[in-house]
Structure 1
């Protein structure tokens, strides 16, 4: 049996962005395909919302978002309009998939090895702290009224970023793609922590404690490998309802449910490598629903900012807008590149032979695409209506677009270089379907 794990580096040598194992590379390829399609649908949803909101029928778009399908749910705080259902309900599916990703990364992925986990964790923290500081600085200089939105530019939209990467960077090194995915997963973990701690109003402890019962029952069933949809889905809905009633954002329920699912299913046929577990199975089931439906629908209801009659001069000088745009475009770049440079400097590590600092610069711009979670935090901080809410939407859209354009400029140039290399050194497949680069010594 051919070993599919890259050989260890020589003693004393540490590489950043090193190539992952072949099974990890295949899993990454599957994720990229799903998220790329989801990113395109997300973009279509956002564009449709912008066109409708700025058309002569813009009032109909606003009324649709404000429609309350169940007015009798006040006792459980479920008398929500469609915009709130998209943010609180559909995004719980997105964060359930995030919870599965996180569990897998910590148990069987990049984050299981503290040495390999250090880079995306440090980069994610740097990519959140610096944008937050920039936003707070701009806000304080402008009077400090918008400080509560400090977390808006800290998030990275994984679907949007991977969609852009798939279009412009087909030949970029696999280690760079794995870094972006892992960084975004860590980013999501930190973002949901921020939401739970800093954007929870009217907290009630009893419903939150009550939610632990259906979550525990859900966990008991999946640990026993019971995938009865007629039992798991009602338990998940009860857990979501109780978390929502507690005042904690309901998407936290999705993450907690994802954490209960086992990752490994035991040893494979060779007695060594673990077989994929229930987490990967559920991820394959729910990721298309998340990327293909939940996130695009949320984008449709969240991105529809109307610029009809808006004072564009006041908009571009608004501290909230400046803070969000600078945080996403400048803060993400400085935070990720700067933290990676410091990590390399103090640990005496070096970039992998296939990676350059220009590649990292392009990826850091991609991380500035802060669409889904940034819009969610913006709604929690300033509401979905009103001038501040609209300004946040416009700022997130502008910052994400600028980041995507800068990433395109940098990475398209790098992609041409890697394409030329790939054409000269074609990768052959052995009979086992594993590229030689994952098998040869030093590969």
Structure 2
């Protein structure tokens, strides 16, 4: 099992190209199930989660071609040959549930295993199922699988999400595109990934309005065609690499970065004393002298502070001048990185859905263990600023969401390398 070795203390200076968004691509790929013509995705990230989704789609009968070293994905679904999304694939990634709506909308049948993913708390699929039932689907949960049918085609309806859900909004957005009549989604997620999916579906011929707001209106069409669509910039990767010069000092330009994708996060960084400016190619982030200031953080659905940047922000705040408070309102169980940061000398107290971080002047390298995707990169960030060596174990989590992290950071002056472990 690989690990990442970081030798801290190096200021970072240079440029980092931000990849296409993993979470957007994982929703765009199942959209290919809605058409018998190919869907071409450009700016695709090269990640293990993308490979998992590829395997799932191929098991259903899709043909997936990775071109230009994996940057371009061509997904063709002339016919869905198998309507069962098997547990052995689905258990590896929660986004697998996103094949449910498209298969049901196109062929009126789907059998999908209940999904797996990072252990960061309960993320039930009940909103996906309730929304599909509102569109007329008949659902039966047995033996760990969702058995869904809609033999007479899904029908438009009004559905109000009791709580905001990105995945459920994506599933219903795709399903409603081929439903008969008009669907109105209220309290819908507003994330850039939702807008990106809607833009792709419109290119395929869908009739969608209101994406990016709390109310999305979809007028179902008889069929969708193929299209070519660029995957939006990964805002979580962007925010993560914005934190790199913030925690080490230095100046890094993030190529492809857009402030509108991370506005709430950028505001908190600036409040902490980090400088952010727009450039012709993206965003420039710098911190030159002195400690950063303590700030409070509350996670919220977009356009609020992203839960997927909470762990990385905590790493920065361990070195702040003062006391910071972080409140996690999206997922429970999302402070598992705190004990690992404490091994490096951080002072963190976790209390239910909140954490109090008392900044220290320095961190010290230590062997630590990644517990989930975002926790893994938070430990790498901490290692960049720590004295001595930090070895991050279980980095298979990291490979699900970050492409070539060692290469991108080392190009800016970081001392970081992957250690390939030999099996005993």
Task: Please tell me the TM-score bracket, short chain as reference.
Answer: under 0.3
TM-score (norm 1): 0.20
The structure with higher relative contact order (CA 8 Å, sep 6+) is 1
More helix by share: 1
More strand by share: 2
TM-score (norm 2): 0.21
